[in-house]
């Protein structure tokens, strides 16, 4: 249906006996009531459909409608406008969390003095976001990120993501290996974790709520004479000595 200043113009099938005729009609208000006025009768609907005339008519009329022309161009293989849609929600949501938790700031501090030719912090954020959303390797991340609007990542390629991961795994100098585990040396990743903990450690400076989980251990035979006692049993064995342990 096409809206115009005179009213609504649309196609209508007019039944006449066993045949249907395609008409163009217009709604007009006359004497306070809406009436349909026939503008033209195109022909029998079955004959129009059989010879493709109806499709030609619709395509011809669509040339004068900008919305239809745009949709037609997007669906065709011809050169013309292309629709580019990107998801913005994930980057907005996790970008704010990234900022509020200090992840971006900490990485920026550790990058001070390093002269990378690409935004390493943006590369790390993108790979983290990729793992949160769909997981997968960095090679898959390069293709995935094209569907998302992530600020300042337009020039990132897969080799940038690899280099960012290499930087996170960069081994720290010997004087910073004091607390290293026997299994792996300390790296940049460890510094990020430690500095993030320092920034948020005030979250645990006050005790407001305590949750306790209890587990009951029951003794069979002669065991539990000194450790256990009888009482309410979550295991439905009040006949056995038990010990309650809080976690």
Cβ neighbours of residue 90 closer than 8 Å, sequence gap 6 or more: 129, 132, 133, 148
pLDDT value of residue 199: 87
DSSP 235: T
What integer pLDDT is reported at residue 81 of this predicted model? 54
pLDDT score for 51: 82
Summarize pLDDT for 111-163 with one digit per residue, the tens.
998 999 999 999 999 999 999 998 778 889 999 999 999 999 988 999 999 99
User: Which residues in the chain come in under a pLDDT of 50?
Assistant: 1-6
Task: Give pLDDT, residue 72.
Answer: 61
Helices (runs of H) and strands (runs of E) counted in the chain: 9, 6
Q: Where are the domains of the chain?
A: 2-75, 89-201, 214-246
Q: Would you state the pLDDT for residue 1?
A: 39
Q: What is the pLDDT of residue 37?
A: 85
């Amino acid at each position: 249906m096409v809206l115009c200043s005179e009213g609504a113009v649309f196609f209508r099938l007019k039944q006449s006996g066993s045949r249907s005729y395609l008409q163009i009609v217009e709604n007009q208000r006359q004497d306070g009531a809406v009436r349909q006025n026939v503008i033209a009768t195109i022909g029998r609907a079955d004959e129009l459909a059989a010879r493709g005339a109806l499709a030609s008519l619709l395509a011809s009329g669509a040339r004068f409608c900008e919305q239809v022309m745009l949709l037609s161009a997007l669906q065709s293989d011809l050169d013309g406008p292309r629709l580019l849609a990107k998801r913005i929600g994930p980057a907005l949501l996790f970008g704010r969390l990234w900022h509020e938790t200090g992840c971006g700031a900490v990485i920026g501090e550790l990058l001070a003095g390093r002269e990378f030719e690409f935004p390493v912090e943006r590369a790390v954020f993108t790979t983290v976001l990729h793992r949160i959303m769909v997981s997968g390797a960095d090679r898959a991340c390069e293709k995935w990120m094209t569907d998302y609007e992530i600020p300042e990542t337009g020039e990132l390629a897969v080799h940038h993501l690899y280099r960012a991961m290499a930087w996170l795994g960069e081994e720290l100098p010997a004087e910073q290996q004091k607390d290293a585990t026997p299994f792996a040396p300390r790296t940049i990743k460890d510094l990020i974790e430690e500095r993030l903990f320092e920034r948020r450690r005030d979250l645990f400076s006050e005790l407001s709520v305590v949750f306790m989980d209890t587990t009951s251990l029951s003794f069979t035979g002669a065991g539990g004479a000194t450790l256990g006692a009888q009482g309410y049993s979550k295991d439905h064995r009040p006949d056995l000595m038990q010990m309650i342990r809080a976690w």
